[in-house]
Amino acid sequence: MPRQLALPGGLEHTLGPLGHGLLLTLAMTGLAFAGALVLGVLLAVCRISPVPPLRALGTAYVTVFRNIPLLVLLVLFVFGLPDVGLLFSLFATVTLTMALYWAAFVCEVLRAGIRTVPVGQAEAARALGLTAGQNIRHVILPQALRSMVQPLAGVFIGLALSTSLAAAVGVAEMTGQAEFTTLKYDQPLTTFAATTVVYVLITLTSGLVAGQIEKRVAVRR
Amino acid sequence: MHVRSRLSLTGAALAAACAISLTACGSSATLPTPKSSGGAAAPTFQQVLDAGPVAPASAIPDGSLMAKIKARGTLNVGGTDTSALFSLKDPVSGKLTGFDAGLAQLLAKYITGKAGENLVLVTADTRETLLQNGTVDTVFATYTITPARAQKVAFAGPYYSSGDAILVAKDNTSITKVDDLAGKTVCTESSSTAANDLKQYAPTAKVILFQTNAECQQAVEQGRADAYVLDQALLLGDQYRDPKVKVVGQPFTSEPYGIGVPLASPEMKAFVNDWLKQIQADGEWAKLWQATIGSVLSGSAPTPPVIGSVQGS
């Protein structure tokens, strides 16, 4: 005879908010990563371009954003922007800040990936009469992208985990909801253990997905 | 602009819900007014600590938790360092001042003979756990006594009665009482249960949690939040320091603050209660109130709540 399992009191009331927090976490992760990718590509183009001012701009950006802790940036943007008359929603402000911060890391991953392509490849392409654009599009990038998969997954995992910092500036994502739940039910260990499991699931999944992608696009040299 | 790169939550503990039927805690019918002038010379925080009593050896039996603390020479206190008037750290001197901090140091002096404490930062998420596993001997962190919490930790006290009030921007006329919070954006400190009180008193309000009092105040000033709900004494302190905000209405909850002690050491609870009675009787409690919370409120110290008068204490 299967025994009836009694749900601890308030579990159904808890899963709602925690689920909502998880959605916010996923939305922030997805949007911020998309933003970081777009901006990171632009920055990487700046950093490898032959135009010195653009190169300097890219370098300066990466230096600034990589060397300020994300929490400091978050507090600065959330409480500083309204002082200069820019009051956006918390979610928008935090997601934008994350995108700006992680773009610096994405840029460096891309730059390193491009560096992995032997110079001989570019020279050979040029010798064949390909233009610079064709060279990047058909010769360098297809090879460079392969070596970027794992480092980009690393950035993605870092970003996913760093969304928990948003709780510190008032976004009720998964960690924020866990704080709410703790205030209500006084079960911190259970609540945070459950949250931890979800974070681990997110990061493990991204690791596995990255592994699959890498297998698909592996280049045999 | 106040930037902090620390992830410690400020501790302001509050009650889950008013499952507690309190005898009307005599919250005065008018809002206490912030102090305008110094008035009579109240004793300084340091003077209050210096005058604190020390327990007779007979009060500390062998094998008790107090004896262990005395042998160790320091009291491990769970508290916060960002709560103005209750427990605030001076970034320059590193000293903690405030009502909770003062009581913690007085208790340390009562047991060990010297008014020093070893502060362990706690949050609403960690208080019970740290008491249960012995990391801290006691918790002073505007810790509201509730029956649910009393299942896990023992409460000495209550030593102070407070209540949630509302702070809004100076030019805000639409919010004057808790019912006006419906549908508004309301912020509070992440480690306070004002968030839960709001669920009960203003279920349609959108609650935002920030780490510190300063951030909540900033959010109200910048219009990110319409109102800020927290302990009335703390909000009056904000109003006193910042002309751009004001406190409206009367406290809409009653929060009895207790001193958390391990459930496994019943002798500690009795000991702390005896000490509370002693400092209330000899006027130390009132002097400490004057030196801390009384610095932003006018009038004399309130009558302390009766010890053991709250369910869970």
Residue B42: Cβ within 10 Å count? 18
Closest Cβ–Cβ partner in A69, A72, A186 for B149:
A186
B192 to chain A: closest CA residue: A183
Report d(CA A21, CA A127) in Å as an integer: 55
Q: pLDDT digit string (tens) for A66-120?
A: 999 999 999 999 999 998 888 899 999 999 999 999 999 999 999 999 989 999 9
Residues of B in contact with A77 (CB under 8 A): none
- Amino acid B20: pLDDT: 37
- Amino acid B34: pLDDT: 67
Examine the pLDDT at B25 and tell me if it is beyond 50. Answer: no
Residues of A in contact with B205 (CB under 8 A): none
Structure tokens at A111: 């730059």
B124 to chain A: closest CA residue: A183
Q: Does B300 contact chain A (CB < 8 Å)?
A: no
pTM reported for the whole predicted model: 0.73
- Provide the pairing of β-strand B185-189 with B227-231: parallel
Q: Which candidate in A13, A14, A79, A177 is best for mutational testing of the B interface (most B CBs within 10 A)?
A: A79
Q: pLDDT digit string (tens) for B148-202?
A: 899 999 999 899 988 899 999 999 999 999 999 999 999 998 877 788 888 889 9
Could you tell me the strand order of the sheet in which B153-162 lies? B117-121, B75-79, B138-144, B255-262, B153-162
Percentage, residues of chain A above pLDDT 90: 64
Residues of B in contact with A170 (CB under 8 A): 187, 208-210, 215, 219
B153 to chain A: closest CA residue: A186
For every residue of A116-160, DSSP letters joined together read: TS-HHHHHHHHHTT--HHHIIIIIIHHHHHHHHHHHHHHHHHHHH
